[in-house]
Structure 1
């Protein structure tokens, strides 16, 4: 059955404000809930944070006080939604446990988007990024074992493999080589715009999370690893945000943001296994339908176009968290040695890349390599977990 969010009516805005009791949601159980429920929570938190920050940026560039007031009204509700979503995460979980879940989101959400993306250039951008997030999961898993003496497969539940990807130290590139070519808003499929917004928001939230939690650790290797991967997440945000056509008007961007929130809440409502969390997705979808209606009215009034000319007439197939083991292994076997140059990709190191590598590493081992060495020294081995067989490229590339 098709679902056209532009034709649906949600909860009126003046009935969306919630009190403290309503905002005080019960968190998920970290030991018994579906790991993909936690992934949906983390992903949706990133989407809500992006909604709030985009609205603030829009307001800072908007001279119309009435529009600024309307943005502020919706933004306050979005801020409440973000608090509810993020507060679904359990306080019992450690920061490192949540970090592993963040990287599971990055791997399986980006891999799913890459599989579904119709544009070859955009697909390549997601394929490139997922191999780096995959390696981050492996590095944090070793830190997790070393500090908390726990195994990452208990967190990711065997749904996502934990083994080396493109080595993290190779992710440091010259900043200009992180800027991709944008899609063309006049011809790009609506689903491609939603994919770009989704992955950009997810990576942005990961960047924010690492920059804030990293210095809270006492262990030097933990502080160093969060610092290194936090820098790479900034590269990833640059990588994904540059895919969005900068020619989109503020009204068009607002419409796309609200439509994407409807799409994701509807997707997660359709695929959620936890009834209490599903109820949150359903409630927020009904709120977002009204936010989308407001954005569509602003778009028609100020942009002078029909919203159906920009967004899809009905929601695409639901975004689905599911294992992507074979897909990621295929990418490991064929693209592990890729890097970027300009807006493209190459399989050879080039002068600009090598110069940046020499500058950032300074002839020393980076934290992402030291964490493997330290865990091997402490545990007698490095940590990895895969479902079957050997690492698909270990013998060919000399990967750990």
Structure 2
């Protein structure tokens, strides 16, 4: 049965205010919750955070006081939604445990989007970032065992493999080589717009998280690793945000943000096994339907267009968290050696890439490699991996030089 969010009024704004008791949600149990429930929580926190930041940015560029008032009103309820969603994460988890969950989101959400993306160039962009987040998961998992003496398999529950991807030391590129060719808003598949916004939001959340929690680590090896990977996340946000057509109007972007929130809450409502969390997804969907109606009306009045012109007539197939092991292995086997040159992808190092590597990766001081060396020193020459049965396309990636 198709579902078109534009056909549903949802909960009006005057019925969306929740009191402190309603906002004080019980967090999930880290020992009993489905790992993909946690992934859905992290994803929706990123989506809500992007909606809030976009609304603030729009308001700062909007001269119309009536529009700013409406944005402020909707934004307040987006903030309440973000508090509920993010507060579902348990305080029992350490920052490093949450970090590993963030990277599991990056691997399996980006894999799913890449598999479903209709545009070959956009697919390539997602696959490129995927192999880098996959390596980040491996680095943090090794750090986790060093510092907390626990294995990351307890967190990812075997749903996501942990082994080297494209080595993190090779992720550092000249800033201009992180910009991609944007889609054309006039011809792009509506699904592609949702994919780009979703992955950009998720990566932005990770970037912001590392920017803030990195210096809170006590161990020098952890501080250094967070700093290096946080710089890669800056590259990733630049990479993904540049996919969006910069010619989209503020009104078009506003409608797309609200529609995407409806899409994701609707998706997760259908796939969530925890009845309590599912009820939150359903409630937030009905709130977002109300927000979408407001955004659609603003677009009609100020942009002179009907939102149906830029949106799909019904929601696409639900976004699904599921294992993507074979897909990641295939990408590793065929694309691990890629880097970027301008807006494209190349297999050979070029002058800008080489200079960046030489400037950053000084001799004997590469945090992402140091953490693997430290793990080997602590654990009789071994590194931490989580591999399931089957053939693996890549050998162990050892430090070079």
Q: Distance in 2 between matches of 1:153 and 1:274?
A: 21
Deviation at 1:365, TM superposition (A): 3.3
Structure 1: gaps spanning 5 or more residues: none
> What per-residue deviation string (whole Å, max 9, x for no partner) do you get for residues 272-324 of structure 1?
01111101000000000000000000011111111110011110000000000
Look up the match of 2:316: 316
User: Could you list the per-position Cα deviations for residues 314-370 of structure 1 after superposition, in whole angstroms to 9, with x for gaps in the alignment?
Assistant: 100000000000000000000000000000000000000000011111233310000
Matched, 1:270 2:270: yes
Partner residue in 2 for 1:329: 329
Tell me the CA shift for residue 261 of structure 1: 0.2
Q: Give TM-score scaled by structure 1 length.
A: 0.98
Q: Secondary structure at the match of 2:340?
A: strand
1:79-228 to structure 2, matched below 5 A, reads: 79-228=79-228
1:379 CA drift (Å): 1.6
1:48-99 Cα shifts (integer Å, max 9, x gaps): 0000000000000000000000000000000000000000000111111110
CA distances 1:223-246 after superposition (whole Å, capped 9, x unpaired): 000000000000000000000000
1:307 aligns with 2:307: yes
Comparing 374-383 with 320-329, greater Cα deviation is found at 374-383
* Cα distance in structure 1, aligned partners of 2:389 and 2:334: 19
State the shift of 1:390 in Å. 5.5
Please state if 1:387 is matched with 2:378: no
Q: Is the Cα contact below 8 Å between 2:135 and 2:165 reproduced in 1?
A: yes
Matched-pair contact (CA < 8 Å) for 1:163–1:391 = no
Q: 141-150 or 360-369, which moves further after superposition?
A: 360-369
- Give the SS at the match of 1:394: coil
Deviation beyond 2 Å, 4+ runs, structure 1:
362-365, 397-400
Partner SS state of residue 345, structure 1: strand
What RMSD over aligned residues (CA atoms) do the two structures have, in Å?
Answer: 1.1
TM-score norm. by structure 2 comes to 0.98
Query: Hey, what's the Cα distance between the residues in 1 that align with 2:398 and 2:96?
Result: 28
- Measured after TM superposition, the shift of residue 388 of structure 1 is 1.7
Does structure 2 retain, via aligned residues, the 8 Å contact 1:100–1:155? yes
Residues 138 and 385 in structure 2, CA contact (< 8 A), matched pair in contact too: yes
Q: What corresponds to 2:283 in structure 1? A: 283
**Contact 2:182–2:243, Cα closer than 8 Å, also in 1:** yes
8 Å contact from structure 2 (residues 369, 399) kept in 1: no
Match of 1:70 in 2: 70
The 1:167/1:116 distance shift into structure 2, 3 A limit, reads same
**Contact 2:179 2:242 (C-alpha < 8 Å) held by counterparts:** yes
Deviation of residue 398 (structure 1)?
6.0
Instruction: Report the Cα distance in structure 1 between the residues aligned to 2:393 and 2:145, rounded to whole angstroms.
Output: 23
Q: Aligned residue for 1:377?
A: 377
* 8 Å Cα contact 1:393-1:399 kept in structure 2: no
Q: Indicate how the Cα distance of structure 1 residues 189 and 248 shifts in structure 2: closer, same or farther if over 3 A, else same.
A: same
Residue aligning to 1:52: 52
Q: 1:314 & 1:292 partners in 2: Cα distance? A: 14
Distance 2:328 2:176 in 1: 27
Q: Alpha-carbon deviation of 1:391?
A: 3.7
Q: Distance in 1 between matches of 2:187 and 2:44?
A: 28
Q: Does 1:40 align with 2:40?
A: yes
- Cα distance in 2 for partners of 1:338, 1:31 equals 38
Residue 273 of structure 2 aligns to a residue whose secondary structure is coil
CA contact (8 A) 1:111 1:327 kept: yes
SS of the aligned residue for 1:155 comes to helix
CA distance in structure 2 between the partners assigned to 1:246 and 1:29 by the alignment = 42
Cα shift at 1:393: 1.5
